[in-house]
Amino acid sequence: MNKQKEQTTKLPNYGGQAVIEGVMMRGKKAAAIAMRAPDGEIIIHKEELNKIYQSRIMQIPFLRGLIGLYDALILGMKALTISANIQTGEDEKIEGPALFLTFALSMSIAIVVFFLIPAGLGQAVERFWEWNAWMGNLLEGLVRLAFLILYMWGIGQMEDIKRVFSYHGAEHKVINTYEAGVELAPEKVQTFSREHPRCGTAFLLIVVLFSVLLFTALGPMTLFWRLVSRILLLPLLAGVAYEYLRWTAENQHHPVIKWLLKPNLALQRLTTNEPSLEIIEVSIAAFNAMREAEEA
């Protein structure tokens, strides 16, 4: 087994997230955010991860995915807030109830747009055209997938988001470089791929595709129970998708797995852009800070 395969297997939890003018890198015990301040300085923020990551609970399949995803949402929102406050300054700081309401509203809109509206459309077409339940659920899944792709493409046209997507690409390049055992120098990092099999974009695609299989198996339902089931079964979908993402990432060099990963990597082209050397420098700083915090 070559060095790249060994390191990919040993580092299943190394990942991150693009934030405003920066990158958050997350390890097994600590996370670090590197942000480019308006004056050009790179600012570093470090913090320990929840102790639950070192507990036996994180060895339980499916349950560990739900816990990890919940914490990732909280940590991700916190990282975005910190980076936004660096750019706006103390006078326009985002915190407290306003932050909580923003997070709750964002999650509610996502559930409505990507789960409830497609379910309602599937039910309506199923009744109007007298389709069977399988066809209605298939249509629901296709609408959900179309919404996801259009959303990612649409926000990617915004100038501010294009820059965030460049930081997203830099995050992937740094992790790919590290897992290949290559020195983290900006010029070397730039030569690596901006796609990575453990990306959150891939996770969203897996959730959507698995939802087609799961919801189709449920058969015919009233509109009320159809909508309720989409919300109640979301944690199950998330847990299964997490395990699938973890499994494919750990076995990414197998020929069959490479084929399975193609849709995930292709979708990442919508959420990553090629970063400049200055952006890569910030991502490297975040990764090194996270590694230092892990060792400490």
The reported pLDDT for the residue numbered 3 is 43
Task: Return the DSSP state at 109.
Answer: H
Position 186 scores a pLDDT of 97
Which pLDDT belongs to residue 4?
45
Q: What are the distances in angstroms from CA 155 to CA 44, 76, 165, 272?
A: 27, 18, 10, 12
167: exposed, middle or buried (Cβ count in 10 Å: 0-12, 13-18, 19+): buried
Q: Which amino acid is at 138?
A: L
Listing from the earlier edge strand, what are the strands of the sheet with 15-19?
15-19, 22-26, 30-36, 42-48
Q: What is the pLDDT at residue 228?
A: 93
Task: Write the DSSP string, 149-185.
Answer: HHHHHHHTTSHHHHHHHHHHHHHHHHHHHHHTT----
Which helix (H) or strand (E) element contains residue 16? strand 15-19
In the chain, the number of structural domains is 1
* pLDDT of the residue at 250: 86
Domain that holds residue 94: 3-295
- Give residue 8's pLDDT: 39
Predicted pLDDT of residue 130: 72
**pLDDT score of 39:** 92
- pLDDT score of 9: 45
* Residue 4, SS3 per DSSP: helix
pTM: 0.86
pLDDT tens for the chain, 296 residues long, are 344 444 434 544 688 999 999 999 998 889 999 999 999 999 999 988 877 777 787 788 888 878 777 777 888 888 988 998 888 875 556 565 666 777 788 888 989 999 899 999 988 888 887 777 778 888 898 999 999 999 999 999 999 999 999 999 999 999 999 999 999 999 999 999 999 988 988 888 999 899 988 888 887 888 899 999 999 998 899 899 989 998 998 898 899 999 999 999 999 999 999 999 999 999 999 999 999 998 87
Quote the crossing angle between the two packed helices 234-250 and 255-267, to the nearest 10°: 120
pLDDT of residue 136: 85
User: How far is C-alpha 126 from the chain's CA centre?
Assistant: 32
